[in-house]
Structure 1
Amino acid sequence: MTAEQVWVDMVTDLGDLAAPPTQQLQAVVDLTARICQVPLAQINFFTRTEQRQVAAHGMDPAACALEDSMCHVVRHQQETVVVPDARLDPRFADNPFVTGRLGLIRFYASHPLTTASGLVVGRLCVFDQRPRTLEEIEGSEVGSLGVVADRVMDVLELALRNRELVHALEHGEAMRAELLTSHDRLAAFAGQVSHDLKTPLSSVSLSLELIREQLAGGAGSKEELEWLAGKAGDAAGRMSALVDDVLAFAQVGGSELHQDVDLAEVLDEVLEDVRVRLDGAEVVVGPLPVVCGDRTQLRSLLQNLLTNSLAYRSPDRPLHVEIDGGLVDHRWLLEVRDNGRGIALEDVERVFVPLQRGAHDVPGSGIGLATCRRIVEAHGGRIALHPRAGNGAVARVELPTGRSAADRPA
């Protein structure tokens, strides 16, 4: 961050704290006018384009252009500036607040408002419409402007630190709530995984126990033993697949998402891998964009969406799947449409919860769509599943255009 940006941010933060004027600031500017024996006093902040009066005595706080500001003329002066008659000072003689166009200021004095880090953000000033003699100035407390200016900054910086502390506490509370929610979800997820592992584990245990009994008793043919061993192997395979799915789900979002990925090329690879599972299904591929992201995860996204359509095909008609995408409202839109079983409206969110399936008679771990959502959200996008008019379902994915991908043709 540049020094100018630090200054702008500080002025913005302090100005926000001081507008409208706090009781403390108003009390300070009133006291300043009294001890300096003047009718007018201001606490002024500088922005890039204007001077903002954040508290004033003898007038209502207002703003003016920097080129008209008397305080801005001496913004680099680190000491107290005292001008007995501004008409006689070449720095101010032509100023509109002196000439009569905006005011008739004669006596002027100010001191910089400086943060603890040394940034000058404005000035504390006092003035009058009549000039002052040196004797009058010496008899007042104009020399105390520096002390008062320091107290103004103490008030503002204390308020700034207090606001930062409040924000930190609010952020900490939000993080705590998020952690509690994550803990509850993790506990539910772990419980569901444990439940889903018990079924194939029980099958393995039962098959092995039967094999052990038949071997111990000398009973059972070779075919029976092979059948039991096969049952155990199938159950172990289901457990292994579930563990793999859980691990893949947990790893989503851990890579840097910054390479350009041609979704048409990725989909060609996915179609080659699932060709044996198509079983007569027709997959129509339309235009697909080049997006910015992680190639491996986006491949997993396309594969999960396509295999979900394959898994939920309707027994009443041949499966027809359409996959295409393009730029819509400055975001990439990807759709996978099928004429399968479809999905009930009440299930469109539930199926994105880990280990939740659309139908219990369809094989699978129930992690595919949950993985899709994690992948899409890791890329800054969103995903939804909708019933399709007539029959089937539509999976709709929105992704940000990213860096160079925004300029690539679909």
Structure 2
Amino acid sequence: MTHLTHPAHPVQRTRGCAADRHAPPEVDRLEVVRLAALHGYDLLDTPADPALDAVVRLAAAIAGVTTATINLIDAHRQCQLSAVGFAGGPSERSESLCARNLGHPEVVHVPDARRDPRYRDSAWVDGRFADVVFYASLPLVTAEGHHLGSLCVFDAVRRELTPDQLARLRDLADVVMALLDGHRRHREQQRLVAEVEEQRELAELTLTELEAREEFTRALLTSVDVGVLACDAAGRLTVVNPTARRLHGRDADLGLPASEFALVHGLHAADGRTPLAPEEAPLRRALVEGHVRDVEVVIAPAGRTPVRVLCTGRALHDHAGRVIGAVVAVQDITTDRARIHALEAAGEQLRRQGRDLACAVTELRRSNDELGDLAAVASHDLAAPLTSVLGYLELVLDVHGDALGGEGREWLATAMRAAQRMQGLIEAVLDHARADSTGLDVRPVIVSDVLTHVVEDLGATAVQAEIVLTGTSRTAHADPVLLRQLLQNLVGNSVRYRSPERPCRVEVRVRDLAGGGWELAVADNGRGIPPGQREQVFAMFAVAVTGENTGENIGAAAGARRPGHGIGLATCRRIVARHGGRISAEETPGGGATLRAVFPSVQAPRWGESGVAVALT
């Protein structure tokens, strides 16, 4: 065996081989770089190339053999890029003959591989894969010195190549590298063309998107009811939307310096009289100061109604933080300010009226107190002499009744009945006055106990009446004195205005309400209250005219009226109102009247008949 080259270098193996497990780090680094260069050609597992096939056939012809191939050595395999004389295909790198010379800088010429210790144990030589005897390998090296593989010729018989043959094969190895470099450049050009096309499409998409955004921005600026002004870093106007033009009363010239904007468009301070200096224009301030917020300005160009606006804006920055301009939003607040001024004027008027009303309330309270005191005093002072009158009339009737004769006794009885009615009226007025003048002491009250005292007070008038207590509750939260007075009036009315057609029945119902509070209802089967008079019966001195009577209205002199003075239900309303409740009248199913009083769970302010709130004591 002879070599036509320099002595063989030690065979360099990859990290995938068992012999390389202890290779130094530098060898690993060089292999990584070599593999990167190999993969950069993107040739592994690619279809056959006619030009490379022609080079391989020419190599076989020059060497005088029938088999030749181009082998590329990957990390773990050998890939045959082109082959002649046999069916090429990938194989394990550890089984490759060319992998054993990978990195050798010169041609490897082996006339008889069976006698060469580097190759004689290979499966390609010892018959396991093939019977290779003659073998020659020419390295394929990039311009950067990276070994990709080799151009290889071989035969099953012993051969030796001439120097001229070896020279031609070296030329063919250079041709192979030129073709590989050409393929790489072509693919790079294709990649660049694809990238350029992609960039062009991206640019077109970007341009389309920018146009769409510009159209959207233009439509947005046109449609919003807010003025928008913008300038560049030099302070020249770049954007003025239609609303801003309308507010300023003229077309703003694009390119106009923001410093001149105040002078050109008649900008004034919030007082509407002081002209703004050029540097005080909101757009100029936003550019210089960085931001402005809620700056009130009056736009008052010559010959035009002033417009009051509110300006908010800020400086604009690029990604590096440099100021590239400013923008200001201008909102018309002329109508809002006019409304505010009108509301302030109305509020001041309401405050004056409130003060006047407070004075009137104070005077009304004083007058009510005086009237209550007067009613109490008058009732008390009238009650004493009236009692004397009644007493003497009774004495005259008892002592001199026979002497008076029938006509005299009738006159005397009429006088006594009139005095008794007057006495009842005085007592009712006194009760009405007391209902709103005494202190309010709300506490739990057992209703059955109060009702028992009421029945006792009614005396003979309640003897033939059925008075019952029903409902889901037996306890009420109220002032016990006022509750007794309330029940005495309501139950007394039911007994007094009983129906002559059926036995009198009065039902007193007490129940707790789901939403809080409680309800007192007094239902009877008496004469009832006509629908049109159920609200009027709570007025002072009002007496309902029933269907049995011929009176035209409450308080009418003509027609028979219900007995009473028309004060009891008015007193009931005052008592319920003092507790923060309300009272109403309705019809009892089957005939009669039901008086229903609703009391809150938490005591509320009482409202007097004049509509003025009165604090509870």
TM-score (norm 2): 0.35
Output one character per residue of 1:144-198: Cα deviation in whole Å (capped at 9) or x when no partner: xxxxxxxxxxxxx999985653222343676799999x99xx9xxx9xxxxxx9x
Offset from partner CA, 1:105-130 (integer Å, 9 cap, x none): x9xxxxxxxxxxxxxxxxxxxxx99x
Distance change >3 Å, CA 330–CA 57, structure 1 → 2: same
5+ residue gaps, structure 2, are 1-268, 296-308, 328-339, 376-381, 546-559, 604-617
- The aligned residue for residue 57 of structure 1 is 311
Deviations 1:204-232 (A, max 9, x none): 9xx99xx9xxxxxx998156666644443
- 1:285 match: 469
Q: Which residue does the alignment assign to 2:479?
A: 294
Q: Is the contact made by 1:285 and 1:322 (CA closer than 8 Å) also made in structure 2?
A: yes
Identity of aligned residues (%): 33
Instruction: Say if 1:384 and 1:31 are closer, same or farther in 2 by CA, change over 3 A.
Output: farther
Query: How far, CA to CA, are the matches of 1:240 and 1:356 in structure 2?
Result: 18
Answer yes or no: is 1:166 the counterpart of 2:349.
yes
How big is the shift at 1:400? Answer: 0.7
Distance 1:59 1:258, change over 3 A: farther
SS of match in other structure, 1:42: strand
Query: What per-residue deviation string (whole Å, max 9, x for no partner) do you get for residues 251-280 of structure 1?
Result: 322334342141333222212222422232
Post-superposition, which runs of at least 4 consecutive aligned residues in structure 1 deviate over 4 A? Answer: 28-33, 157-164, 172-180, 222-230
Task: Tell me the amino acid that sits aligned with residue 357 of structure 1.
Answer: V
Distance 2:578 2:478 in 1: 9
Q: Which residue in the other structure is 1:348 paired with?
A: 534
Q: Map of 1:19-168 to 2, 5 A cutoff? A: 27=270, 34=280, 38-39=285-286, 40-42=291-293, 57-58=311-312, 165-168=348-351
Q: Report the 3-state secondary structure (helix = DSSP H, G, I; strand = E; otherwise coil) of the residue aligned with 1:58.
A: strand
Is the CA contact (8 Å cut-off) linking 1:354 and 1:367 kept in structure 2?
Answer: yes
Shift, 1:284, TM fit: 1.5
What is the one-letter code of the residue matched to 2:280?
Answer: R
Contact 2:470–2:510 under 8 Å retained in 1: yes
**Residue identity matched to 2:403:** S
Counterpart CA distance in 1 for 2:580 and 2:431 is 19
- Look up the equivalent residue of 1:252 and give its one-letter code: A
2:425 alignment partner, one of 242, 266, 278: 242
Distance 1:244 1:273 in 2: 14
2:574 to 359, 362, 374: 374
In the alignment, what sits opposite 2:503?
318
8 Å Cα contact 2:461/2:496 also seen in 1: no
Contact 2:436 2:574 in 1 (8 A): yes
* Distance in 2, Cα, partners of 1:277 & 1:373: 24
Corresponding residue for residue 152 of structure 1: none
- How far off its partner does 1:236 sit? 1.9
Counterparts of 1:376 and 1:59, CA distance in 2: 61
**Aligned counterpart in structure 2 of residue 385 of structure 1, from 585, 599, 606:** 585
Partner Cα separation in structure 2 for residue 265 and residue 402 of structure 1:
24
SS in 2 for 1:313: coil
1:338/1:165 CA distance change after superposition, 3 Å: same
| Other-structure match for 1:6 | none
How far apart are residue 385 of structure 1 and its match? 0.8
> Is the CA contact 1:325–1:332 (under 8 Å) kept in the aligned structure 2?
yes
Q: CA deviation at 1:35?
A: 7.2
3-state SS of 1:322 partner? strand
Q: Is the 8 A contact 2:294 2:312 kept in 1?
A: no
How many residues end up aligned between the 2 structures?
262
After superposition, the Cα gap between the structure-2 partners of 1:161 and 1:285, relative to the gap in structure 1 and judged at 3 Å, is same
Instruction: Using the TM superposition, give the Cα deviation of residue 371 of structure 1 relative to its aligned residue in structure 2, in angstroms.
Output: 1.0
**Structure 2 CA distance, aligned partners of 1:252 and 1:226?**
39
Ranges in structure 1 where 5+ consecutive residues have no aligned partner: 1-25, 45-54, 61-97, 107-127, 130-156, 191-196, 212-217, 404-410
Give the residue type in structure 2 aligned to 1:371.
T
Q: Which whole-Å CA distance do the structure 1 matches of 2:561 and 2:341 have between them?
A: 64
Residues in 2 aligned to 1:373 and 1:297: alpha-carbon distance in whole angstroms: 11
Query: Are 1:291 and 1:402, in contact at CA under 8 Å, matched by a contact in 2?
Result: no
In 1, distance between residues paired with 2:456 and 2:518? 24
Q: How far apart, CA to CA, are the structure 2 residues paired with 1:363 and 1:319?
A: 17
Q: Distance in 2 between matches of 1:400 and 1:331?
A: 4
- Distance in 1 between residues matched to 2:437 and 2:478, nearest whole Å: 12
| Distance in 1 (alpha carbons) for counterparts of 2:412 and 2:576 | 41
Whole-angstrom distance in 2 between the partners of 1:324 and 1:264 = 11
User: Is 2:518–2:598's contact at 8 Å kept on the other side of the alignment?
Assistant: yes
Q: Would the alpha carbon gap of residues 160 and 349 (structure 1) be closer, same or farther in structure 2, given more than 3 Å must change?
A: closer
Q: Quick one: which amino acid aligns to residue 27 of structure 1?
A: A
Larger radius of gyration: 2
**Matches of 1:221 and 1:253 in 2, distance apart?**
49
2:563 equivalent to 1:363 = yes
Whole-Å separation in 1 of the counterparts to 2:568 and 2:597: 15
2: CA distance between counterparts of 1:279 and 1:219? 31
SS at match of 2:453: helix
How much is the aligned-residue C-alpha RMSD, in angstroms?
5.1
The question of 1:305 aligning with 2:461 is answered: no
How far is the alpha carbon of 1:344 from its aligned partner? 1.4
Query: SS where residue 544 of structure 2 aligns?
Result: coil
Alpha-carbon distance change, 265 to 220 in structure 1, aligned in 2, over 3 angstroms: closer
Q: Contact conserved, 1:291 with 1:401, CA < 8 A, in 2?
A: no
Instruction: Tell me how far apart the structure 2 counterparts of residues 340 and 234 of structure 1 sit (CA, whole Å).
Output: 25
Whether contact under 8 Å (1:258, 1:292) holds in the other structure is no
Matched, 1:272 2:272: no
Q: Is the 8 A contact 1:289 1:332 kept in 2?
A: no
3-state SS, counterpart of residue 247 of structure 1: helix
The answer (yes or no) to whether the contact 1:321–1:337 under 8 Å persists in 2 is: yes
Change (3 A) 1:170 1:31: farther
Q: CA 1:352–1:59 in 2, change beyond 3 Å: closer, same or farther?
A: farther
**Partner Cα distance (1:337, 1:313) in 2:** 12
Q: Which one of 416, 422, 434 corresponds to residue 233 of structure 1?
A: 416
Q: What is the deviation of 1:27?
A: 2.9
Partners of 1:171 and 1:227 in 2: CA distance: 60
